[in-house]
Each structure stands twice: as C-alpha cells, then as structure tokens.
Amino acid sequence: MAKRGERVLDKGNQSAAQTIGQAQAIADIAQLTPTQLKVLEGVHLGLLNKQIAFNLGIAEATVKAHMTAVMRKLKVRNRTQVAIVAQAHELARSNAVL
C-alpha cells in the first residue's frame, strides 16, 4: 500500500523501470577500468576482498580502493548492490550472445 504522496507503479511500469535501471548500470560498467572489471567479476563470484586480492596479485587495500571506485562509477552504495549490477551485466552479456 502506498503512503500519501507516493506513486504506485503497476507491474508493467515497474518492469520497465527495472529494465531502464539495468540498462543504465550496464552503461556505467563501460566506464570501469580493466582492473575494476576484474574486481567486479570477483564480487559477482562471491569472493572476499582478500581472495580477489590474491587472485589479482594486489594488496587487499588496493581491492578496497577499486571497490570504492566501482561503487562510485556504478552509483551504488554497497557491495550487495555491486553484485546485483554485476548479475544484470552477466545476464545482458549472455542474452547478447543469443
């Protein structure tokens, strides 16, 4: 139930809004550096910063710096939101192949 002053989206509009949001997030991914993309992939795989650092041969503090930059470029606030964007990107890539 909507509170006073809130707009309610029906399922069709809600789906369209999600699609537009995903499209924007995917466009934002294009701004990431190669290392930031590797960090994003690590988050998508559910790896810890320490594991990502080991796999990339960099310090954990460097991974944290890359995560901060990734969150800023993707306009998200936390690691969970980064993972959601990464999932949307993965789905878009797999659909593009079809």
What domains lie within the chain, and their CATH numbers?
33-97 (1.10.10.10)
Single-letter amino acid, residue 2: A
88, pLDDT greater than 80: yes
Residue 98: pLDDT band with limits 50, 70, 90: very low
Predicted structure pTM score? 0.71
Q: Rounded CA gap, 88 and 19, in Å?
A: 10
Contact 74, 82 (CB under 8 A): yes
Contact assessment for residue 98 and residue 56, using Cβ atoms and an 8 Å cutoff: no
**Mean pLDDT, residues 38-49 taken together:** 96
In which band, very low, low, confident or very high, does the pLDDT at 71 lie, cut at 50, 70 and 90?
very high
Quick one: which H or E segment has residue 85?
helix 79-97
pLDDT at 5: 57
